[in-house]
């Protein structure tokens, strides 16, 4: 009895020295004492069968099976090799075989409550749902959007990064119905120009290799409103690019609806109300979509657990202007230290409320005025030039009058408790421009036909004036999107109606009451001519034609 206790204590002492040494983050060898190593392997151990083994072999009865002893010895040796240190201090670990992806996937339709048919197809990814013959994955439900990718044959090597190309031009379409019978017909939504002759369908047995369905709840171009933990709107978000597949993590079904939760990762143009600047930002979250009974499409209700620059938010679909908030402070302009928070301001509008008049509101430039509590603009929606801004607690904003004898185009900054939104305007209907290349060659003329789209100010700065040395002019850069009649010199008198967008450079010289358009640069047009200019590395500019 005493000898047995001594053996146990000696074994425990040796093992403790080994364990304590292995926990040290030093470059010393594992066994500081060579005697401890010899003692460790000299001591017998008892296996699960009751026998004592040393180095994988039985040492005393009762006997055990050789296979059990060999497995135990191999496990003991591998454990020792994992922690044994070489002379230079590095740790050797045995090479472990990584789990390889299976070469095939067995589908049993009886598991889905269908015919007891079995198929062997190529393996699918974690975000894909297999469909082959009568086997249809239970997660493939009409009303949701899927991207369908044909599967290769078993054992076939596909060099493409994501496998074979997707059907329907790589688009994710809404699944409308799944037919019945041995061969199931999958019908997807039709294209806009082919509502009466829908070609977006196929049968599940058209391809013996099968198909892989990829769920897509959020698509490029979708817009959301950002909310914080207090359910207060903080900004807007527009999806620019999808980063990776959308993996379904859970789903539930009831008698009236089907709900799916999908993990998403994307690049979005995020604009916070406080900054007013939209920047492409990585965004992750979990999208929740619900398909109600007797409704053709599933609807994304929210995106939860959203991470934007290390902060947690939630998203609701759509952008409502009443959520857009702007906080202004009069002390920032050296005025009365008042503070106002305006809700519902458009992205292109400049705030004016109470005693606060934004510094970007400058006499000599043109504006459209809208009370913040309504959609109708003042002055019949016309664009008027601002003549002056009064002084005092409530500033009087005087615009260009219709009659010099009875001027009535004016208002005070505190006339509307909810504030005013002033939209700067640079290009108007009827303006004419000369289309000029970067080397000064004139290509033709353009006349503005419509200028209904909003024009947003991008920047404002003071630049030295060439006509008045020592003084500074005010220069604004305003983004414009207009419709123009374009007549090119190489096409004689033929006119083309084009959508033109660009950045208009407006300037107001010192000691002058009027602003003027210097040029419109960074031109974009919905015409093949843009491709020709880009191919020739030629930039075009619209220069105003002054009518004398």
In this prediction, residue 281 carries a pLDDT of: 93
State CA 308 to chain mean position distance. Answer: 10
Angle at 303 between CA 250 and CA 292, to 5 degrees: 65
Instruction: Give the residue carrying structure tokens 């000064």.
Output: 440
Helix (H, G, I), strand (E, B) or coil at 238: strand
In this prediction, residue 102 carries a pLDDT of: 79
Would you list the DSSP string of 329-374? EGGGGTS---EEEEES--TT-EEEETTEE-TT--TTSEEEEEETT-
Phi and psi (nearest 5°) for 14? -65, -45
In this prediction, residue 174 carries a pLDDT of: 95
Per-residue pLDDT tens listing for the chain (548 residues): 556 666 666 666 766 565 555 444 433 333 344 444 444 344 444 443 333 333 333 333 334 333 434 443 444 444 444 434 434 444 444 444 445 667 889 999 988 888 889 999 999 999 999 999 999 999 999 999 999 999 999 988 777 767 789 999 999 999 999 998 888 999 999 988 777 888 999 999 999 999 999 999 999 999 999 999 888 888 899 999 999 899 999 999 998 999 999 999 999 999 888 777 788 999 999 999 999 988 999 999 999 999 999 999 999 999 877 777 788 888 888 888 899 988 888 888 999 999 999 999 999 999 999 998 888 899 999 999 999 999 888 899 999 998 888 888 999 999 898 899 999 999 999 999 999 988 888 888 999 999 999 999 999 999 998 888 889 999 999 999 999 999 887 766 678 889 999 999 999 999 889 999 999 999 888 877 776 676 666 788 999 987 65
Instruction: Give the residue carrying structure tokens 């929606």.
Output: 381
In this prediction, residue 361 carries a pLDDT of: 94
H helix or E strand, kind and range, residue 434? strand 432-437
Choose the final residue of a domain: 304, 319, 334.
319
In this prediction, residue 374 carries a pLDDT of: 86
Residues 6+ apart with CB under 8 A from 462: 472, 473, 474, 475
Cα distance between residue 214 and residue 131, in whole Å: 11
Same domain, 279 and 358: no
Strand order in the sheet with 57-60: 45-46, 52-54, 57-60
Instruction: Give the residue carrying structure tokens 């008698």.
Output: 255
Same domain, 437 and 480: yes
Q: What are the beta bridge partners of residue 290?
A: 259, 299
Same domain, 50 and 114: no
Same domain, 121 and 210: yes
In this prediction, residue 494 carries a pLDDT of: 78
Token reading at 236: 């807007």
Same domain, 74 and 141: no
Q: Which string of b and e fits 223-253 if b means at least 16 CB within 10 Å? A: ebbbbeeeeebbbbbbbbebeebbbbeeeee
In this prediction, residue 73 carries a pLDDT of: 43
Cα distance between residue 381 and residue 369, in whole Å: 8
Give residue 135's domain range.
105-215
Cα distance between residue 17 and residue 32, in whole Å: 9
Choose the final residue of a domain: 405, 424, 443.
424
Same domain, 109 and 204: yes
CB contact at 8 A, 516 and 408 = no
Q: Is residue 330 part of a domain?
A: yes
Same domain, 111 and 197: yes
Q: Is residue 18 part of a domain?
A: yes
Same domain, 343 and 364: yes
Choose the final residue of a domain: 302, 319, 336.
319
Q: Is residue 96 part of a domain?
A: no
CB contact at 8 A, 146 and 170 = no
Same domain, 307 and 235: yes
Same domain, 448 and 475: yes
Cα distance between residue 248 and residue 215, in whole Å: 8
In this prediction, residue 1 carries a pLDDT of: 52
In this prediction, residue 63 carries a pLDDT of: 40
Beta-carbon count within 10 A of 399 CB: 23
Token reading at 501: 């967008």
pLDDT in tens, 164-193: 899 999 999 999 999 988 889 999 999 887
Q: Is residue 91 part of a domain?
A: no
State CA 516 to chain mean position distance. Answer: 39
Q: Is residue 98 part of a domain?
A: no
pLDDT in tens, 99-152: 566 788 999 998 888 888 999 999 999 999 999 999 999 999 999 999 999 999
Handedness of CA 413, 419, 420, 421 (dihedral sign): positive
Q: Is residue 257 part of a domain?
A: no
- Closest to 166 measured CA to CA, from 247, 103, 245: 245
Same domain, 442 and 529: yes
Question: What domain count does the chain have?
Answer: 5
Q: Is residue 99 part of a domain?
A: no
Q: Is residue 92 part of a domain?
A: no
In this prediction, residue 369 carries a pLDDT of: 95
Same domain, 384 and 295: no
Cα distance between residue 366 and residue 382, in whole Å: 10
H helix or E strand, kind and range, residue 534? helix 528-535
Q: What are the beta bridge partners of residue 393?
A: none
Cα distance between residue 23 and residue 30, in whole Å: 10
């Amino acid at each position: 009895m005493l000898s047995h206790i001594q053996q146990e204590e000696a074994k425990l002492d040796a093992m403790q020295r080994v364990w304590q040494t292995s926990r040290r983050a030093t470059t010393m060898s594992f066994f500081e004492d060579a005697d401890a190593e010899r003692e460790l392997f000299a001591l017998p151990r008892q296996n699960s069968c009751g026998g004592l083994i040393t180095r994988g072999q039985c040492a005393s009865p009762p006997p055990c099976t050789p296979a059990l002893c060999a497995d135990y010895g191999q496990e003991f040796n591998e454990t020792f090799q994992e922690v044994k240190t070489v002379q230079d201090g590095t740790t050797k670990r045995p090479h472990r075989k990584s789990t390889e992806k299976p070469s095939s996937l067995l589908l049993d339709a009886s598991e889905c409550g269908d015919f007891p048919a079995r198929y062997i197809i190529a393996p699918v990814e974690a975000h894909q749902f297999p469909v082959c013959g009568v086997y249809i994955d239970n997660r493939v439900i009409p009303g949701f959007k899927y991207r369908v990718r044909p599967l290769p044959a078993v054992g076939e090597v596909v060099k493409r990064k994501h496998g074979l190309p997707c059907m329907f031009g790589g688009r994710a379409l809404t699944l409308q119905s799944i037919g019945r019978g041995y061969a199931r017909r999958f019908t997807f939504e039709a294209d806009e120009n082919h509502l009466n002759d829908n070609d977006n369908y196929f049968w599940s047995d058209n391809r013996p290799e099968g198909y892989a369905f990829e769920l897509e709840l959020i698509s490029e171009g979708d817009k959301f409103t950002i909310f914080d933990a207090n359910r207060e709107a903080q900004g807007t978000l527009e999806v620019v690019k999808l980063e990776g597949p959308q993996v379904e993590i859970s789903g539930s079904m009831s008698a009236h609806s089907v709900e799916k939760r999908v993990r998403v990762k994307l690049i979005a143009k995020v604009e916070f109300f406080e900054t007013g600047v939209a920047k492409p930002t990585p965004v992750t979250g979990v999208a929740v979509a619900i398909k109600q009974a007797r409704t053709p499409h599933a609807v994304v209700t929210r995106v939860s657990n959203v991470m934007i620059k290390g902060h947690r938010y939630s998203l609701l679909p759509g952008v409502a202007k009443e959520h857009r908030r702007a906080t202004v402070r009069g002390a920032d302009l050296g005025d009365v230290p008042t503070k106002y928070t305006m809700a519902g301001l458009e992205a292109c509008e400049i705030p004016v409320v109470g005693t606060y008049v934004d510094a970007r509101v400058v006499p000599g430039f043109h504006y459209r005025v809208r009370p913040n509590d309504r959609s109708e603009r003042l002055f019949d929606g016309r664009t008027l030039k601002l003549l002056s801004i009064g002084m005092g607690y409530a500033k009087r904003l005087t615009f260009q009058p219709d009659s010099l004898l009875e001027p009535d185009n004016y208002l005070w900054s505190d006339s509307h408790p909810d504030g005013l939104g002033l939209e700067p305007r640079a290009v108007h209907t009827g303006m004419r421009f000369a289309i000029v290349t970067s080397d000064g060659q004139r290509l033709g003329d353009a006349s503005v036909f419509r200028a209904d789209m909003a024009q947003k100010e991008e920047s404002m700065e003071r630049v030295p004036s060439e006509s008045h040395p020592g003084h500074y002019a005010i220069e604004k850069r305003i983004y414009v999107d207009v419709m123009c009649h374009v007549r090119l010199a190489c096409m004689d008198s033929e006119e083309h109606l084009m959508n033109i967008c660009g950045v208009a450079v407006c300037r107001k010289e010192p000691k002058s009451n009027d602003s003027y358009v210097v040029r419109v640069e960074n031109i974009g047009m919905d015409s093949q001519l843009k491709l020709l200019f880009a191919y020739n590395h030629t930039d075009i500019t619209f220069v105003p034609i002054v009518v004398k």
